[in-house]
Amino acid sequence: MGQGLLERGEIMLQTVDVGRRSLDAYRGVAPDAILNDLFRHAESLRGSRVVHINATNYGGGVSELLRSVVPLMNDLGILTDWKVISGDNTFFETTKRIHNALQGARISLTKQESDAYVRNMERNARLFEEEYDYVFIHDPQPAGMLSFRGKGSARWIWRCHIDTSDPAPDVWDFLRGFLQGYDAAVFTMQEFLPPHIPIDHVEIIPPAIDPLSPKNLHLPESTARQILAWLGIDMDRPLITQVSRFDPWKDPMGVIASYRIARKEIANLQLVLAGSMALDDPEAWDIYKEIMNESQNDPLIHVLTNLTGVGNIEVNALQRLSDIIVQKSIREGFGLVISEALWKGTPVVAGRTGGIPLQAADGVGGVLVESVEECAHAIIDLFRNPAEKEELARLGKERVTEHFLTPRLLLNHLSLMHTLSEGLLPFPQSRTAEEVRRDPVCGMAIEEPSLTSRRDDNTYYFCSERCRSRFDADPKRYV
């Protein structure tokens, strides 16, 4: 698209400044085998141009992921940008409804809403002028851009971070129409695949946390205590925390209900609900008001947001010094807050949904629950059994170190880019010098695996006993 086609006053898509990062800083933090593979696989991709496009540069897991991935890809010699679309209020209200519908809410779009989506996609497609070799489009908000721009010579990848296994039919049919022409789709888990996806090449790539980001880097206990005291939290009293967007799928009202049951057994128990108010989530304000109304007469409930000065460092301190992190999600894309907490040595009580069981596989890291009562009883039991709580957290950190740090995610991305550039099938499980082992169930790149299974003269590698058991129960599903 030439600049002459842009409307007066419009500019190109906003580019996010992410600074510079070095993968060498991850030596001694992430497994060396993964780091070594990263540098080797990056060689043939040096000089490639890559762009990641999403809806916001702050708030939520996608923006955090890109703030780490983009500078590290540049460090590997892969020229990578991060761009953000823009839209009017109706557009973001509509895309929030699309998000909820893809996660299972039985809603439909009005003509005004569908027209707003098309109008904003057409506009953002005009604003996307540059040429790239690989275009990663994140979630439904910018998914329609390809239909109005055309691919050119680039490989286009739709990266869906949410659970779309049971979408509202009308909304999914609407979005499917914009997915024609993508070269690949990436989902967080096999179980998240929607019906009748119009993209032939589908890969499963779980996300990861950046251990060196401000939210996850080491924070001295004395500093963390000062931060929480500044937030009004009494460190002489027990503390549980949920960190999430203010979203009905995160069930903050259920967390409050569980807390009130647990407080009857755990004297002076405090609850922190820390939420991020993101630009692309107008519904968050309604949930925030509901939480404030429910908690206003309880001085031991602290409701904190990024708009009142709570950022990554404050969340780091909360996750590090809370006795338990709660993530009582009803539906979940992946829930990286689980890996964040376990990385800091804090056990979790979390909903048995989305990617949470994968992070806490094989009974490590915490307790998975499915109701308010189960959540409350799990909190009480962990407080009453401190040795069990400590051991769960220790094993959980080991699992996060091996499987859920950013370098592993980068290795998955490079594997996909190699596949698309060479027109090959995904890397097979039988390893040669330049191939990446992949868990066929969860999709993660695996280094130095200890769990394997043999089928038809092929060896398959697994990140956990959970994944191996699921493979052995139904191998045809994954091969």
Task: Name which residue leads in pLDDT, 2 or 147.
Answer: 147
**Residue 413: partners with Cβ closer than 8 Å, 6 or more residues away:** 69, 73, 205
pLDDT tops 50 at residue 162: yes
**Residues 56-76: tens digit of each pLDDT:** 998 778 998 999 999 999 999
pLDDT tens, residue by residue, 386-440: 999 999 999 999 999 999 999 999 999 999 999 998 754 344 333 333 467 888 8
Rounded to 5°, the CA angle 426-84-23 comes to 55
Q: How confident is the model at residue 478 (pLDDT cuts 50, 70, 90)?
A: confident
Q: What is the pLDDT of residues 352-393, one digit of tens each?
A: 998 999 999 888 999 999 999 999 999 999 999 999 999 999
Number of Cβ within 10 Å of residue 407's Cβ equals 24
Mean predicted confidence (pLDDT) in 3-26: 76
pLDDT tens per residue across span 227-282: 999 999 999 999 999 999 898 989 999 999 999 999 999 999 999 999 877 666 77
Q: Are 367 and 349 in contact (CB under 8 A)?
A: yes
What is the pLDDT averaged over residues 90-99? 95
Give me the pLDDT at residue 466, please: 86
Largest CA distance in the chain: 68
The side-by-side arrangement of strands in the sheet containing 324-327 is: 301-305, 270-275, 239-243, 324-327, 348-351, 366-369
pLDDT of res. 279? 62
Contact 365, 338 (CB under 8 A): yes
Burial 296-311 (b: 16+ CB within 10 A, else e): eeeebbbbbbbeeebe
- pLDDT score, position 278: 67
The rounded distance, in Å, linking the Cα atoms of 109 and 130 is 32
Confidence check: pLDDT of 192 > 70: yes
> Which positions ≥6 away from 179 have C-beta within 8 Å?
143, 158, 185, 197, 198, 199
Rounded Cα–Cα distance for residues 117 and 101 (Å): 15
Res 3: pLDDT: 34
Q: What is the pLDDT of residue 428?
A: 38
Mean pLDDT of 294-303: 95
Q: Which of 90-99, 130-139, 217-226, 275-284 has the lowest mean pLDDT?
A: 275-284
Strand-pair partners of 275? 305
Residues 6+ apart with CB under 8 A from 385: none
Does 207 have pLDDT greater than 80? yes
For the beta carbon of residue 283, count every other beta carbon within 10 angstroms: 17
Q: What is the pLDDT of residue 287?
A: 92
Q: What pLDDT score does 247 carry?
A: 87
Number of other residues whose CB lies within 10 A of the CB of residue 150: 12
Predicted confidence at residue 440, as pLDDT, reads: 86
**C-alpha to C-alpha distance for 130 and 146, rounded to whole angstroms:** 13
Say which residue the tokens 């779009």 belong to: 109
HSE-up (13 A, CA, CB side) for residue 449: 22
Predicted pLDDT of residue 396: 96
Average pLDDT over the chain, rounded to an integer: 91
Q: What is the mean pLDDT of residues 206-216?
A: 95
